[in-house]
Amino acid sequence: MARNIKVELSRQMPLEKQEIELVERKGIGHPDSIADGLAEAVSQALCREYVDRCGVVLHHNTDETQIVAGRSYPAFGGGEVVSPIYVLLVGRATKEFDGMHIPTDTTALQAAREYLRETVLNLDVERNVILDCKLGEGSSDLRDVFHRKIPGANDTSFGVGFAPFSETERIVYHAEHELMNLRTKIPAIGEDTKVMGMRDGDKITLVIACAMVGRHIDDLDHYISITEGLRDRMADLACEYTDREVGVLINTADDLNSKSVFMTVTGTSAEMGDDGSVGRGNRCNGLITPNRPMSMEATSGKNPINHVGKIYNLLSNKIAFEAAESVDGIEEIYIRILSEIGKPIDQPLVADAQIVSADGANVNTITSEVEAIIDRSLENITDITKLVTQGKLSTF
């Protein structure tokens, strides 16, 4: 059966030629990102448990995880959390299959503890976090859906993707990753970061919020020294991706005169007033990009078998990057895939590519090659499921 694939040329101005560009990335310790990470960690743990016990992944969705902030008193050289962070793992899971009881809640709690320990390095999970699990029962009528070779779409929904990243997008994406890499050398760096990039013409400004961990900072002078060093390192990193002028600002809300600075006990502001929810942060490509089309679907925690809100967003980005890297003449490409509830996920209602072509590009060649990439990707759509369950695709 032929798929409904459309490839069309777009006359829009390429992003790099637009005057204003905004890009954001919430770091892995931002409360919204923690919620995303927990939801996905629990989903992957359930997938493994289902396969080990039943031979297949069963229905589940864990994409409603919520974080309620605690209360803390940070201080140079220490500080303490006086009211713990509350984490509610909530969603749906299949708890019984062919007479077999599956320990979904204990599996979820273990996965959540392990994720927090590995991600927020200065967080005492036993002392500073309350973990609560309220997974409801999965729908029994979805058993047949999960056993099909090609599952039917759970909803009428769409996924979007684009490629390549602009210079500003690459800088923002890699700046947060570099901060996390620096933790081994600078333990004062907390995981709760946010990198906001603005390009105004040919000037890029990075505004970075980076939580600092008080136990690793001696005094205000030490704090200032660390943040100034980070500012210089981020400026150097930006130069690896652009020849444009770059300015970097870090922790601009600090009031040094009153010693009011972005300091934490654990490395995340979830300890002192910032709540978190799945889907309020980065899209599945790791960025928040108001200059680009985006889906508002929460990718993290949705089941990787038939939930098109997850599968189509991941697939759209995969298609876009493959096309941008392998097809000559593509300046920008945007992918949109729309499902039809109940229909096989490899047969979307439409899979559409919008292409901004380079001057002199062979449009016919671009069209045929992009169509082939989309068709092949849909034919192998279950590869997305495998990659997700193996933890090889990031969802935020």
What would the DSSP string read from start to end of 222-259?
HHHHHHHHHHHHHHHHHHTT-SSEEEEEE-TT-BGGGT
Predicted model pTM? 0.95
**Helix, strand or coil, per DSSP, at residue 319:** helix
Helix axes 308-326 and 363-379, enclosed angle (nearest 10): 140
Beta carbons within 8 Å of 221's beta carbon, 6+ residues apart: none
Per-residue confidence (pLDDT) for residue 145, from 0 to 100: 59
Alpha helix (H) residue ranges in the chain: 31-54, 104-119, 125-128, 143-147, 167-181, 220-239, 308-326, 363-379, 382-389
Per-residue confidence (pLDDT) for residue 17, from 0 to 100: 96
Assigned CATH class of 31-146:
alpha beta
Per-residue confidence (pLDDT) for residue 1, from 0 to 100: 77
What are the residue boundaries of the structural domains of the chain, listed by start?
5-15+154-165+280-389, 23-27+167-276, 31-146
Per-residue pLDDT of the chain (396 residues; tens, 9 = 90+): 799 999 999 999 999 999 999 999 999 999 999 999 999 999 999 999 999 999 999 999 999 999 999 999 999 999 999 999 999 999 999 999 988 999 999 999 999 999 999 999 999 999 999 999 999 986 655 555 566 789 999 999 999 999 999 999 999 999 999 999 999 999 999 999 999 999 999 999 999 999 999 999 999 999 999 999 999 999 999 999 999 999 999 999 999 999 999 999 999 999 998 999 999 999 999 999 999 999 999 999 999 999 999 999 999 999 999 999 999 999 999 999 999 999 999 999 999 999 999 999 999 999 999 999 999 999 999 999 999 998 899 999
Per-residue confidence (pLDDT) for residue 148, from 0 to 100: 72
Per-residue confidence (pLDDT) for residue 147, from 0 to 100: 63
Per-residue confidence (pLDDT) for residue 143, from 0 to 100: 53
For residue 350 the two structure tokens come to 């439409």
Assigned CATH class of 23-27+167-276:
alpha beta
For residue 344 the two structure tokens come to 């096989």
Measured torsion, CA atoms of residues 383, 388, 390, 395, in degrees rounded to the nearest 10: 140
Same fold for the pair 23-27+167-276 and 31-146? yes
CATH number of 5-15+154-165+280-389: 3.30.300.280
DSSP-derived letter for residue 152 is B
